[in-house]
Amino acid sequence: MPGGATRPPAAQAQFHFMNRTTPRVFIAATRQNDGKTTLSLGLLAALKQVYPRIGYIKPVGQRFIEVEEQKIDEDSVLMDRVYQLNCPLVDMSPIAVEPDFTRRYLQSANYEALVSRINKSFDRVAWEKDFVLCEGSGHAGVGSVFDLSNARVAKILGAKVIIVTQGGIGKPIDEVCLNQALFEKEGVEVLGVIMNKVLGKKMDFIADFARRGLRRKGLELLGIVPHQPLLCSPTMGLVGEELGAELLNQPLDQDHLVDEVVVAAMGVHNAMSFVRNGVLIITPGDREDILLAIAAELEGDGATELAGILLTGGLLPTETALKVIRRMPFPVLLTRADSYGAASTVHTLTVKTRPNDKEKISLIRDLIAQHIDVARIIDTL
């Protein structure tokens, strides 16, 4: 190759040492945050009706947490805690892409070692299992810089692929075709496509024309999942985590859903017009007039259930105001960020399902059971 570069060893050379008999499927997407984890979470529940013992692996993870001094992808932790899959957690997440991972790889490529790690982890995850669900990370090309694109990883695992994309006709199918080309280059079969986050009133229309468009590309539409605001709304717990905020009270439920964000940078009378169910009020910590007005309304009829209040600027209210805050039934958080920065962070949050999001998880299971042709997926495998 030009410049003395070397091509990574062919993926198929690694198959000899890996279990190839356990059924498996690889969940990919046209981009990040299209709904791979949501689909995987629901599919696991549906597949368990047919395959009682299921394993899960996310071979290459980009968002990880520390578990017993090991870096584990957060989606692997989610699946393990929700389903108790009885798989070694470290093998459900064999490769964690740390901030300097790519630089270190380009300085001293260790491709064969990484492939061996994936192979061995898959074998342990698949041990005494009837089926293994494999989840990718982003579009087919993610990971190409260190020779482990999603397409290459699917090839290494010997898995057929389902591509998840967002609802629509033209743009989603264009993006599916781009991803399909890379999978086909690696010799990986794409089973079909699932469209996610489709507006309910457009479901039938998009299903009809998307099915026609995909069929022209030799692909099957395996299901359409309707848009659900609940799955896109962050919780106050997630807001607090993202901002490193301090919780100033102890409400019974710390995971209120945020449906709307309001920066209360106005007089108290105007601010009160925004106090309604599901709203997150963002205001500087010294706006005690707003805090006391909200408390007075709660004592009046108690009907309004804010998502919560986020106090900004690191301004801790007086002890008098803190006593009022401690009685509030929703989370009140304090962050060092300014109001604009805090609001921007909340608006751009990547909403991920967490193990304690029981309402979301129940909804996801129902959505996948109702809108995905799981029987068809099993037949094609």
Q: pLDDT digits over 124-155, tens only?
A: 999 999 999 999 998 999 999 999 999 999 99
* Average pLDDT over the chain, rounded to an integer: 90
Q: Same domain for 89 and 227? A: yes
Residue 292 pLDDT greater than 50, yes or no: yes
Per the domain annotation, does 247 fall within a domain?
A: yes
Q: Same domain for 58 and 135? A: yes
Q: Same domain for 198 and 240? A: no
**Range with the lowest mean pLDDT among 7-11, 97-101, 246-250?**
7-11
The amino acid sitting at 314 is: G
Q: Same domain for 82 and 210? A: yes
pLDDT in tens, 230-258: 888 888 998 999 999 999 999 988 788 89
Assigned token pair, 321: 């105001």
The amino acid sitting at 269 is: H
pTM as predicted: 0.82
Residue-range definition of the domain harbouring residue 312: 236-343
- Among the listed residues 167, 170, 169, the one whose alpha carbon sits nearest the alpha carbon of residue 371: 167
Q: Same domain for 85 and 217? A: yes
Q: Are 210 and 195 in contact (CB under 8 A)?
A: yes
Q: How far is CA 58 from CA 24, 55, 96, 154, 297, in A?
A: 12, 11, 10, 11, 48
**pLDDT at site 14:** 44
The amino acid sitting at 181 is: A
